[in-house]
Amino acid sequence: MSVAVRGAIGAPVDRLEGREKVTGSAKYAYEHEAENVLHVLGVAATVAAGRVVHVDERSVLDLPGVVAVLWHANAPKLSKETDPELALFQSDRVAYRGQWVAGVVAESFAAASGAERALRVEYEAAEHDSVLTDGHPSLYTPEKVNPSFPTDTSDGDVDRGLAEADVVVDETYRTPTEHNNAMEPHATLAIWHDGGVTVYDSNQGVRPVRQALADAFELDPDHVRVISPHVGGGFGSKGTPRPNVILAAMAAKVLGRPAKVAVTRQQMFSVTGYRTPTIQRVRLGATRDGRLTAIAHDVVEQTSLLKEFAEQTAVVTRMLYASPSRSTSHKLARLNVPTPSWMRAPGECPGMFALESAMDELARALELDPIELRLRNEPQIDPESGNRFSTRNLVGCLREGAERFGWKEAPARDGRWLIGSGVAASTYPARRAASQAIARAEADGTFTVGIAAADIGTGARTVIAQIAADTLEVELDRVRVELGDSRLPPAMIAGGSMGTSSWGAAVVKACRELRTRLADDLPVEVHADTADDSGGVEREPVSSHGFGAQFVEVRVDSDTGEVRVSRAVGVFACGRIVNPKTARSQFLGGMTMGLSMALLEETVLDGRFGAYLNHDLAGYHVAVNADIPAIHVHWLDEVDEHVNPMGAKGIGEIGIVGTAAAVANAVFDATGIRVRELPITPAKLAASL
Ligand code: MOS
């Protein structure tokens, strides 16, 4: 932006709280202390449908250290407005296996843990149905898809586009249930005081947690305080409040003592959200010279019996490529499963596995280079809205990536290893939401910026300080950032890749205003609100998205079908990069999670019991160091002044988009086998090799 002060926008600043984190002094939710604290655990339903007939409190109350059991017969009534996933113990109904039907309260975590195992719960089980199929009888069309996109769209005549095509691809792709698995499990410490409650909680936004508590316990939101200075990851699962928040507050209220709840790793597979499985039919028609005549993307996915979550899986197909005809649709089955929710790039991530696999299949059918196919279908304007793109550098990413990756070596063989390469496009919307911030010039020459932002390990605290330092034109070490506290000005959550964009806009506004007040008596504080601000420099509607290109080389063991990724290159165009060090980590993390999705991640449901079988990190495999090769991350110089005054687009999610398709496309290149169902396990290859 303006001048080169140390630590300004563009500087590779270390995380400001890095020392606290590596020395262990940074406190996470469960580590906060309170005198006389109670330890509470949720107790999971062991049937997938039916009702709780009785909870035998005596089965645990005599155990040492056990204080109480909460369940629907004795739990305080919560407001009827409470979110159904948070309305703990308000009815005897069981909607899915793993739903919390009771809470055990004890003097220690060990005692609570013993009680959780020993508690006898009597159920009346009912028939359940937990398995998603594309012809499921409960399929229906939701009114909108997350967060508020139209469910179905249609533009031009797809049937005609397909009929007139020289080449048609019509295939169905499947992605499995996946769980977010942040390193820090969800946890809450609740402390009541006169008429209100303070919670220390692990979340992606203090405001939604505050609102959930206010709603459930019918409190003035000003009497609820949520504190969340450090969060060990979320990937979407902490973007919405989870039942640990309610259980901690409920136990603390009933027992009149502070209470803390830790969600166990196993319980994270039922009560903290997950990525819905998808069944996606993609139809592409193209002329012989590789111009699309039709794109159709029809998605089947699931929701729970408690509430609707409709993932926006096909939304990306509405804007990515030019085609005279285009249609998308979403249908949901209502099942005895936990309610799906956000997981890194909900919509774009699974949707692009299907679309970018199908584009590769089309390129093969046309005998056209897959990059060239994409270049031939690059739209001049947003095909859905007709708006121009604020900046769109997909072509640049593909070209730069091809150069850096060495696209494209012919597939090869090295002993029993088959070697191949794949490419896929990547994109994610660049949005921002209203946020407020304060900026204060202190009497000692330092500055304080306050905003209810969340740093979930991304470096948010650091980039907010950089944006403030840059705007104030002062060195970074004169700027202090306060975040993670609901008493601070309300702000967007750390979600939708909108954090930096939304918070930064408010911080710039506050700091610009503060600069005009520096002649006043110090300290002086200003408050800014971006609610009424337009997105950027012009009022003309534009479409803003980040873009990227993913290149992957795989080695496939021709005996076992084992796939090893040997190289990965990602090139992104996401506006100005505020901090190259933390940004690189975001792209690397996204790509790592995408490779993990491609080869490893799958939560396996046993339909007979409605139960997830691999509900821990021994059975649910996330990529570890040995799975991940050198990943090379690059970005194009870009400034997008439409999204926010920093010229930056969000980068938290785009790294995972398209990665799995690039892997599947590379596996095809190496083996001639097209795997249309993730993850790409040895079993799906071995039989055909
Ligand atoms: Mo992210 S899945 O939008 O929290």
Q: What is the DSSP letter of 616?
A: S
Neighbours of 220 (CB within 10 A): 9
Which pLDDT belongs to residue 533? 86
By most ligand atoms within 8 Å of CB, the mutation choice from 653, 656, 657 for ligand 1 is 653
Q: Is the CB of 346 under 6 A from ligand 1?
A: yes
**pLDDT above 70 (res 538):** no
Active site residues: 653
The confidence score (pLDDT) of residue 195 equals 85
Q: DSSP string spanning 245-292? A: HHHHHHHHHHHTS-EEEE--TTGGGTSS--BPPEEEEEEEEE-TTS-E
pLDDT at residue 362 above 80?
yes
Residue 515, H or E segment: helix 499-515
Distance CA 145, CA 387 (A): 21
Give CA–CA dist 30/522, Å, rounded.
38
pLDDT surpassing 70 at residue 3: no
Average pLDDT over residues 538-549: 87
Per-residue pLDDT averaged across 421-425, rounded?
A: 98
590 lines ligand 1 (CB under 6 A): no
Mean pLDDT score of the chain, rounded to an integer?
A: 97
H/E element, 361: helix 348-366
Evaluate: CB of 176 within 6 angstroms of ligand 1.
no
Rounded to 5°, angle at Cα 670 from 555 and 666: 80
239 ligand 1 Cβ < 6 A: yes
d(CA 394, CA 373): 13
Q: Tell me which of 86-100, 406-420, 533-547, 578-592 is least confident.
A: 533-547
pLDDT recorded at residue 5: 81
β pairing state of 259-262 and 38-44: parallel
Ligand 1, atom 4, residue with closest C-alpha: 236
CA atoms 24, 25, 31, 35: torsion sign? positive
Render pLDDT for 303-333 as a digit per residue (tens, 0 to 9): 999 999 999 999 999 999 999 999 999 999 9
Ligand 1 atom nearest the C-alpha of 204 is: 4
Atom from ligand 1 closest to the CA of residue 343: 2
Is any ligand 1 atom within 6 A of the Cβ of residue 312? Answer: no
531 Cα to the center of ligand 1, angstroms:
21
* Tokens representing residue 114 in the block: 């013993």
Provide mean pLDDT across the span 287-300: 98
Q: Which residue(s) pair with 122 in the sheet?
A: 54
The number of CA neighbours under 13 Å toward the Cβ of 112 is 23
Q: Look at residue 7 in the predicted model and tell me its pLDDT.
A: 83
The span from the CA of 310 to the CA of 139, in Å, is 12
pLDDT band at 156 (very low <50, low <70, confident <90, very high): very high
pLDDT of residue 122: 98
Task: Give phi and psi for 688, each to the nearest 5.
Answer: -100, -5
Residue 670: its pLDDT value, please? 98
Spacing, Cα 329 to ligand 1 middle (Å) = 22
- Cα(185) to centroid of ligand 1, in Å? 16
**pLDDT on residue 4:** 67
Q: How confident is the model at residue 540 (pLDDT cuts 50, 70, 90)?
A: confident
How many other C-beta atoms lie within 10 A of the C-beta of residue 419? 18
pLDDT in tens, 10-50: 999 999 999 999 999 999 999 999 999 999 999 999 999 99
Q: What angle do CA 484, 488, 491 make, to 5 degrees?
A: 75
What would the 3-class secondary structure string for 173-233 be?
EEECCECCCCCCCCEEEEEEECCEEEEEECCCCHHHHHHHHHHHHCCCHHHEEEECCCCCC
The pLDDT of residue 6: 82
Q: Is the CB of 236 under 6 A from ligand 1?
A: yes
- For 581, other C-beta atoms within 10 Å of its C-beta total 14
Strands (E), 483-629: 524-529, 542-543, 545-557, 563-573, 605-606, 611-612
Are 229 and 484 contacting, i.e. CB atoms less than 8 angstroms apart? yes
What is the pLDDT averaged over residues 557-575? 98
User: Could you tell me which residues come within 8 angstroms of residue 321 by beta carbon, excluding any fewer than 6 positions away?
Assistant: 292, 295, 359, 374, 377, 378, 379, 383
586 Cβ inside 6 Å of ligand 1: no
Ligand 1 centroid distance, CA of 276 (Å): 14
Provide the token pair at 371.
Answer: 């990059």
Percent of the chain whose predicted confidence (pLDDT) is above 70: 99
Quick one: pLDDT at residue 66? Answer: 98
Residue 304 CA to ligand 1 center (angstroms) comes to 20
The whole-model pTM stands at 0.97
The CA 446 to ligand 1 mean position distance, Å, reads 34
Whether 279 has a pLDDT exceeding 90, the answer reads yes
pLDDT band at 539 (very low <50, low <70, confident <90, very high): low
Ligand 1 pocket check for 495: Cβ under 6 Å = yes
Radius of gyration of the chain, Cα coordinates, nearest whole angstrom: 26
